[in-house]
């Protein structure tokens, strides 16, 4: 018989693991992935495969030859980043740009901070924003979704609904004039509108969100506070002047709002640690998104909003501590 083991308590461990969480996120993304393949066809598969292979390769290569640390390629975190990155790209993006995106996501946003768990910004979003500012034309010529069942004809590119609104309002048109150009709510829910691969189908994203809530991978705090903030603020402006501001439901269903709220802002590494902090974080993201969408230069603001709030997370963590047992509510113990 071998020696007994000695260790501190506890002597049992729950069945949670990093791997389980990461693959849980991957499972939650499957409906979205399937919808985007349905709408964008072979091109979508190409972008997904490229992003996954490139991300995994960079993760492996950097860990093996630059950091020379233990390999953690199996934990699934690079896979999650890869799929999230692909969901943030237009399906007709040239392959080499996808690879650059993967390098930026893994190399710059994740590994240069020290790898999993140490990055400040969401890797997939850093890569998206990097590509957006580097290749604005390619990153904003969104292919029109064309269900795979309707054959593999040439894709037509066009602006996103948010782009239509931005440009239209900029050209002094009113919302009622623009409405015929915009997708209906049903189309928005199902995903039949222009946009990046993961932005198109609200239904699939919500499905994934419900799955992650059920598996306790995410809590409701960030998505709910973020969406509520967006709804309230866009609602106020829409109530004041429906001709110049889009309605809340439109804001919810278009662009990266749901993708951001469900998969991006809830990223464990780059979101606050306490539930109170998460509510504040969600509020900040929602507010910044609306500000950028209404008055910013870009039609879409979710990625920038999340990245800006990512930077504020350490501050939020310092300011919003959990309520200590035995302390009066709202009063820190040592003050």
Q: What burial letters (b/e) apply to 290-329, b meaning 16+ CB within 10 Å? A: bebbbebebbbbbbbbbbbbbebbeebeeebeeeeeeeee
Q: Which stretch binds other proteins (CB under 8 A): 39-47, 192-200, 256-264, 269-277?
A: 269-277
Kindly tell me which of 20 and 64 has the beta carbon lying closer to other proteins: 20
* Residue selected from 20, 181, 184, 241 as contacting other proteins according to rule CB under 8 A: 20
* Residue selected from 21, 83, 200, 261 as contacting other proteins according to rule CB under 8 A: 21
Q: Are 93 and 99 in contact (CB under 8 A)?
A: no
Indicate whether 64 belongs to the interface with other proteins (CB under 8 A). no
What is d(CA 39, CA 81) in angstroms, rounded to the nearest whole number? 22
Kindly tell me which of 9 and 172 has the beta carbon lying closer to other proteins: 9
Kindly tell me which of 116 and 231 has the beta carbon lying closer to other proteins: 116
Indicate whether 322 belongs to the interface with other proteins (CB under 8 A). yes
Q: Are 91 and 145 in contact (CB under 8 A)?
A: no
Q: Are 270 and 212 in contact (CB under 8 A)?
A: no
Question: What one-character DSSP code corresponds to residue 108?
Answer: I
* Residue selected from 148, 274, 291, 308 as contacting other proteins according to rule CB under 8 A: 274
* Residue selected from 155, 273, 291, 312 as contacting other proteins according to rule CB under 8 A: 273
Within 10 Å of residue 269's Cβ, how many Cβ atoms? 17
What is d(CA 293, CA 28) in angstroms, rounded to the nearest whole number? 27
Indicate whether 269 belongs to the interface with other proteins (CB under 8 A). yes
The residue ranges that bind other proteins (CB under 8 A) are: 1-14, 16-18, 20-21, 72, 75, 77, 115-118, 268-269, 271, 273-275, 321-327, 333-334
């Amino acid at each position: 018989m071998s020696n007994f083991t000695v260790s501190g308590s506890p002597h049992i461990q729950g069945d949670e693991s990093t791997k389980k969480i990461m693959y849980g996120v991957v499972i939650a993304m499957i409906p979205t992935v399937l919808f985007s393949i349905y709408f964008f066809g072979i091109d979508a598969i190409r972008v997904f495969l490229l992003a996954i292979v490139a991300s995994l390769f960079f993760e492996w290569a950097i860990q093996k030859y630059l950091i020379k640390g233990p390999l953690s390629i199996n934990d699934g975190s690079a896979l999650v980043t890869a799929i999230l990155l692909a969901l943030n790209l237009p399906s007709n993006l040239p392959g080499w740009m996808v690879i650059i995106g993967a390098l930026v996501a893994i190399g710059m946003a994740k590994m240069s901070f020290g790898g999993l768990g140490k990055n400040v910004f969401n890797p997939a979003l850093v890569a998206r924003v990097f590509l957006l500012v580097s290749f604005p034309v390619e990153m904003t010529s969104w292919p029109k979704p064309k269900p795979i069942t309707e054959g593999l004809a040439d894709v037509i590119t066009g602006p996103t609904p948010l782009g239509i609104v931005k440009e239209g309002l900029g050209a002094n048109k009113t919302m009622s004039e623009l409405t015929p150009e915009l997708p209906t709510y049903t189309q928005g829910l199902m995903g039949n509108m222009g946009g990046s691969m993961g932005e198109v189908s609200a239904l699939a994203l919500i499905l994934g969100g419900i799955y992650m809530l059920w598996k306790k991978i995410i809590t409701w705090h960030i998505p709910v506070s973020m969406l509520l903030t967006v709804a309230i603020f866009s609602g106020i402006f829409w109530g004041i002047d429906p001709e110049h501001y889009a309605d809340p439901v439109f804001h919810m269903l278009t662009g990266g709002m749901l993708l951001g709220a469900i998969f991006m802002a809830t990223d464990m590494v780059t979101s606050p640690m306490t539930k109170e902090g998460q509510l504040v974080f969600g509020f900040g993201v929602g507010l910044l998104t609306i500000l950028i969408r209404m008055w910013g230069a870009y039609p879409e603001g979710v990625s920038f909003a999340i990245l800006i709030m990512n930077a504020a997370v350490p501050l939020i963590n310092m300011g919003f501590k959990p309520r200590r047992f035995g302390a009066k509510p709202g009063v820190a113990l040592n003050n």
